[in-house]
């Protein structure tokens, strides 16, 4: 399979690596289609976008008209010979900020209808990245319902339809989960073996691999941030704390945050403040109510059952060790 090239950091491109099980799962989707839209959630920067772009390439090689759309970044990849459709995506992406995002999110759904109905394509896939940010969380469930409609009520003559949507927002998981319109599956940071392959592609001097693993927990985006800030761990943590406005959080909830820093499962206890739990989820600091580690429930490999060095509990996990470090910095 051709491996797509991805932007890792300023001036650095890397070839897609690892996620072998996740790519086999794409092949399984291609064999039978997706009865319900697959909604994939996971830590920020864990590699969902890279996987979707590689999945689009894999589906193309399996004979699908495959459309990848990222409304927030106004990015798309259209593996189709229908020039008219490609032009429609290009026009939508060139619109003003705000308008472009909504048009691309809508066009992702319309594209499947047109490919099957108007242009009589039998094998079609649509992969949508972070659409819920573009359309608003309140409309997330209805968007998934529209994706489901492509499978439940498709134009005549289709052979197989694959629909996948990815999100980093833990809160969208709960909104979508209130209905039975999707199969929700988590994706975690990269496995240690796969992460080492990525680490080896990073140019220049760097800390030893075990240190990089301990800091990032296998998260590619955190590895990129460390690289861009010349491996200054304190700077990355302070930058993250500033971006997520963690000082206010630390002032209000210091005692409880100390418990969660030590063991994220503390936030799963009955006496833990509900308001703080919701803030930790909304700020994408933790993944709450972790799925059973049975691989059947996961895209790619699940995380360990419990690894406090990486901030992973049985029920709750820090998105990365650096997210936990950012909270520590805010509490100092």
Kindly give the confidence (pLDDT) of every residue in the chain, 332 residues in length, as a single tens digit, with 9 standing for 90 and above: 899 999 999 889 999 998 999 999 999 999 999 999 999 999 999 999 999 999 999 999 999 999 999 999 999 999 999 999 999 999 999 999 899 999 999 999 999 989 988 888 889 999 999 888 888 877 888 899 999 998 888 766 688 999 999 987 666 777 787 778 899 999 999 999 999 999 999 999 999 999 999 999 999 999 999 999 999 999 999 999 999 999 999 999 999 999 999 999 999 998 999 999 999 999 999 999 999 999 999 999 999 999 999 999 999 999 999 999 999 999 98
The pLDDT assigned to 133 comes to 83
In the 8-state DSSP scheme, what is residue 296? G
Q: Do residues 41 and 169 lie in contact, with contact meaning Cβ atoms separated by under 8 Å? A: yes
**Where are the alpha helices (H) located in the chain, listed in sequence order?**
20-32, 48-61, 83-93, 99-113, 131-135, 140-152, 170-177, 192-201, 209-216, 220-228, 233-243, 246-262, 274-282, 321-331
Where are the domains positioned within the chain? Answer: 5-186, 193-331
Token readout for 256 is 């409880």
Sign of CA dihedral 5, 189, 124, 163: negative
- Rounded to 5°, angle at Cα 216 from 215 and 218: 135
Give 227-233's long-range contacts (Cβ < 8 A, gap of 24+).
227/8, 227/9, 227/12, 227/202, 228/9, 228/10, 231/206, 231/207, 233/322, 233/325
Q: Do residues 290 and 317 lie in contact, with contact meaning Cβ atoms separated by under 8 Å? A: yes
pTM for the structure as a whole = 0.94
Architecture of the structural domain at 5-186? 3-Layer(aba) Sandwich (3.40)
The pLDDT assigned to 23 comes to 97
The pLDDT assigned to 311 comes to 98
């Amino acid at each position: 399979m051709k491996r797509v090239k991805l932007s890792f950091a300023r001036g650095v491109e890397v070839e897609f690596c690892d996620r072998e099980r996740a790519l086999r799962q794409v092949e399984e989707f291609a064999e039978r289609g997706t009865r319900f839209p697959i909604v994939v959630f996971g830590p920020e920067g864990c590699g969902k976008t890279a996987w979707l772009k590689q999945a689009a390439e894999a589906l193309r090689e399996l004979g699908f008209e495959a459309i990848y759309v990222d409304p927030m970044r106004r990015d798309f990849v259209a593996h189709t010979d229908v020039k008219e459709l490609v032009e429609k995506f290009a026009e939508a992406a060139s619109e003003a900020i705000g308008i472009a995002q909504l048009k691309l999110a809508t066009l992702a759904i319309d594209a499947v209808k047109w490919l099957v109905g108007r242009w009589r394509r039998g094998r079609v896939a649509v992969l949508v990245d972070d659409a819920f940010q573009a359309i608003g969380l309140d409309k997330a469930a209805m968007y998934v319902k529209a994706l489901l409609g492509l499978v439940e009520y498709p134009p005549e003559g289709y052979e197989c339809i694959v629909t996948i949507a990815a999100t980093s927002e833990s809160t969208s998981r709960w909104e979508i989960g209130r209905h039975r319109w999707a199969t929700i599956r988590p994706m975690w940071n990269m496995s240690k073996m796969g992460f080492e392959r990525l680490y080896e592609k990073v140019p220049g001097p760097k800390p030893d691999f075990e240190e990089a693993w301990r800091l990032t927990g296998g998260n590619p985006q955190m590895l990129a941030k460390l690289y861009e800030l010349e491996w200054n761990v304190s700077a990355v943590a302070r930058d993250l704390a500033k971006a997520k406005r963690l000082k206010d959080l630390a002032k209000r909830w210091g005692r409880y945050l100390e418990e969660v820093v030590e063991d994220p499962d503390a936030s799963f206890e009955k006496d833990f403040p509900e308001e703080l739990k919701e803030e930790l989820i909304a700020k994408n600091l933790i993944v709450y109510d972790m799925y059973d580690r049975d691989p059947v429930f996961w895209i790619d490999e699940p995380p360990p059952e419990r690894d406090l060095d990486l901030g992973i509990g049985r029920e709750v996990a820090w998105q990365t060790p650096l997210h936990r470090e950012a909270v520590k910095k805010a509490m100092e």
